[in-house]
Amino acid sequence: MSLQATAAADPKTLAAPAARREPSRAAVIFAAFARRKIALAALIVLLVIVFACLLAPWIAPYDPSAGEVTDRLQKLGAPGHLLGTDEQGRDILSRVLYGGRLSLLSGVLPVLLASILGGGLGVAAGYFGGWTNTIIMRALDIVFSFPAILLAIGISAALGPGITNIIISATVVFIPPIARIAESAVKEVRKEEFIEAARSSGASAVLIIRAHILRNIFAKVFVFATSLIGVCLMVASGLSFLGLGVSPPTPEWGFMLNNLKQLIFINPAVTIVPGAFIFLTSLSLNLVSDALSDALELKR
Amino acid sequence: MASFVWKRILLMIPTLLGVSIVVFLMLKIVPGDPVNAIVPPDASESERALVRAQLGLDKPMAVQYVYWLGNVVQGDLGDSVARRLPVTDMLLPAFKNTLLLTAAAALASFIVALIVGVYSAYRPKSKLASLFNGLSLASIGLPNFWAALILIGVFSVTLGWLPSSGMSKVGGGGFGDTIDHLILPAAATALASVGVLTRMVRSTVSGVLQQDYIFALKAKGVRPFTILRHVLRGGHADDPECDRSPVRRAAGELRTRGDGVLLAGRGAGHLSGDRAARLPPSYRPACCSSPSPSSC
C-alpha cells in the first residue's frame, strides 16, 4: 500500500528539485576512476598520443617518407628534428606520428573484431549450453592452446605480409580469451531470476540475449577487451618488427624499430624512440584498464 | 586424485588431435613448394612428379596427415627437405639453448615476483606496493623486443660491459663466457614477464591472507615467518575470495603465453604457463583451481 503511494509520489518529488538528482552511473564510475591520479594521467597521455597520430597530416613537421640526405642520422633533440632522423634522413617525429595511425589501428581493430566474434560465440555457448557449449568451447580450446605469438606468426606467415593480415591473425588470437570471459559471464547471468521470468513470460532467446544478457555482461567484456588492446598493440607491432607487416616506405612503429635497430651502435637514443611509443601507449592502456576495472568494482 | 588426472589426460586427446590438424594445415598453407627446394629450377614436369611421388605429396591431404601423425607419435618429425637431416637432430641443439634461456629468465622473474608479490600482498596500502603495482603494469606493457634493444644500447654499446649478440666469443665458450652472453637476453625476457607473475603472486597471497586459518594462526601468536610459510603453502581449491580479478589474471595469462620469445611464462612453471593451457572452460580463476604455489 504505502509502497505504491511512494512510487506514485516519486516522479513529482524527483522532478521538482532537479539539482538533487542522483549522479548518473557513468559519472560515478568516472569519479571513482579519476580518484587514481596516475590513471587519469595515463588517460591524458593516451588521448594526446591518439589525437596527435590522428592529426598527423596537419601537425607532422615533415613528409614521413621523404628523407633529406644532408640531415641523416641526426641525434635526439637536434634543431629541426626533435626526435632525430634515420639513416635516410627522414624525420623520426613525423614518422612516429604517421606510423602511430597504423600501429594504433592494429592494436584496436583486432580487439574490436575479436570482441564481436568472440563475444558472439561466448554468448551463444553460455546461453544455449549443452552440446553447443561443448563444441564451441572445445574448438576455441584448440586455438587457445597455441602460444599467442606463435599462432599469430604462423597465420601471418601463411597469409603473407601486410597490415591487413596482421589484423586478421591478431583477431584470431584474441577470439578465444574474449569468448571465455563472455561465456562465463553469461553463465552467471543466466542463473538470475529475471531471466527465468523473461523466459516463462514467453520472451524469445534473441530478445532475452539482447535485452538482458548483453546489458549485464557488457562491462565485464568491455574492461577485459580494453586490457587486451595493449597486448594486441605489442603483438601487432611485434609481427611488424619481424617484417610481417607494412612494406618499406610506410611508417609503422614496430617496423620502424626493426629498421632503426641497425643504428643501435651509431645512434642508440634514436633507435629506441618508436619502441618508447609502443611502451608508453601500452602502459597507459594498462593503467587505464586497471583503474577502470577497479572503478567498475569487477574485483569482487 | 588419480581418476581426476586420467580424466584430464583423456580430455586432452581430442584437443591435441585438433591442434595437430591445425599445425598440419598451417604447414600446408604456408607458401612455397618443397619440391622446388629439391629439384633444379629447370626440372621437367615428369621429374617434379617423380619427386612429388617419392615424398608422398601426391597422396590426398588426409592420407598425408595420417602418415605424418603416425610418424610424429613415434618421435619421427621427418627429414629437412633443404638440409637432408632429420628434423629432430636440428631441433635438439636449438632446444638446449632455448631451455637455458628459458630457465634463466624464468628463475630470475620468479624470484623477483615472489619477493615483490608477497610484500605487496602483505602491505597493500604502502607506497612501495603501489610503486610495485605501477612497475608490474609497466612490465606487462613492455615489448620485449624493445627491452632487448635498450639493454643492448645501455650495456653493450654505451657501457661496453656485455656482448650484444652470439652465445660465445670466437674461440671462447667457457662457463663464464656463456653466462656473459646469457645475461642480456635472459634479462629482456624476464623483464617482460615479471609483471604478470608478480600480480599473480600478489593476488594469490592476498587471497590466502584473508583465510580464517591465517587469522587463527595470528591469534595463536605464531611467529610471522611461520605464518608466511603457511601462506606460501597455500592451497585453497574453490575459494571465491581468491578470485580477485579474473579479468586481469586472464590478461596476464595471455601476456605470459604471448611472450615474444615464448619462454619466460612457459618456464615459470606452475604459476603461469601450464595453468593457462588448461584453464577450465567456465573460467575458474586460475589461482584457485589447483593447489597454489605449493612448491614456492
pLDDT digits (tens, 9 = 90+) for B183-203: 888 888 888 888 888 888 887
CB contact under 8 A, B30 and A157: yes
* B73-89 average pLDDT score: 77
The Cα A219–Cα B41 span in angstroms is: 58
Q: Closest approach of chain A CAs to the CA of B140, in angstroms? A: 8
Q: What local confidence, expressed as pLDDT, does residue A112 receive?
A: 93
With 0-12 CB in 10 A as exposed, 13-18 as middle and 19+ as buried, what is A115?
buried
Q: Left (φ > 0), alpha (ψ -120 to 50) or beta: where does B40 sit? A: beta
Predicted confidence band at A20 (pLDDT cuts at 50, 70, 90)?
low
β-partners of residue B86 are B79
CB contact under 8 A, A231 and B283: no
Match 645512434 to its residue by C-alpha cell: A267
Q: What local confidence, expressed as pLDDT, does residue A149 receive?
A: 79
Residue numbers in B near A141 (CB within 8 A)? 15, 18, 281
For the ranges A192-196, A243-247, B78-82, B93-97, the lowest mean pLDDT is seen at B78-82
For the stretch A268-288, pLDDT in tens is: 777 788 888 888 898 888 888
* A220-249 average pLDDT score: 83
Q: What is the DSSP string of A197-244?
A: HHHHTT--HHHHIIIIIHHHHHHHHHHHHHHHHHHHHHHHHHHHHTT-
CB contact under 8 A, B146 and A257: yes
Q: Closest approach of chain A CAs to the CA of B264, in angstroms? A: 12
CB contact under 8 A, A224 and B250: yes
Is residue B254 scored above 50 in pLDDT? no
Q: Say what the pTM is.
A: 0.73
β-partners of residue A91 are A85
Percent of chain A with pLDDT over 70: 88
Is residue A237 scored above 60 in pLDDT? yes
Q: Which of A220, A290, A294, A300 to mutate to test the interface with B (most CBs of B within 10 A)?
A: A290
For the stretch A115-173, pLDDT in tens is: 999 988 988 888 887 888 888 888 888 887 777 777 888 888 888 788 888 899 889 98
Higher pLDDT, A18 or B268: A18
Predicted confidence band at B247 (pLDDT cuts at 50, 70, 90)?
very low
- And the C-alpha cell for A291? 583503474
CB contact under 8 A, B281 and A158: no
Q: Closest approach of chain B CAs to the CA of A9, in angstroms? A: 41
Q: What local confidence, expressed as pLDDT, does residue B180 receive?
A: 76
Residue numbers in A near B24 (CB within 8 A)? none
**Which of B158, B244, B262 faces A150 most closely, judged by CB atoms?**
B262
Q: What local confidence, expressed as pLDDT, does residue B72 receive?
A: 81
**Which of A149, A264, A282 faces B152 most closely, judged by CB atoms?**
A264
For the stretch B16-51, pLDDT in tens is: 888 888 888 877 777 777 777 777 777 777 878 887
Q: What local confidence, expressed as pLDDT, does residue B163 receive?
A: 74
For the stretch B109-140, pLDDT in tens is: 888 888 888 888 888 888 888 888 888 888 88
C-alpha count within 13 angstroms, C-beta hemisphere, residue A73? 9
Q: Which of B10, B130, B149, B261 to mutate to test the interface with A (most CBs of A within 10 A)?
A: B149
Burial code (b: 16+ CB inside 10 Å, e: under 16) for B53-71 equals eebeeeeeeeebbeebeee
CB contact under 8 A, A237 and B143: yes
* B216-240 average pLDDT score: 68
Is residue A3 scored above 70 in pLDDT? no
Residue numbers in B near A130 (CB within 8 A)? none
Percent of chain A with pLDDT over 90: 4
CB contact under 8 A, A181 and B283: yes
Residue numbers in A near B137 (CB within 8 A)? 283, 286-287, 290
Match 581493430 to its residue by C-alpha cell: A109
**Domain residue extents for chain A:** 29-60+92-295
Is residue B279 scored above 50 in pLDDT? no
Residue numbers in A near B154 (CB within 8 A)? 268
CB contact under 8 A, B146 and A38: no
**Which of B137, B257, B281 faces A290 most closely, judged by CB atoms?**
B137
Report chain B's mean pLDDT, rounded to a whole number. Answer: 70
Nearest CA in chain B to A283: B141
The CATH class of A29-60+92-295 is: mainly alpha
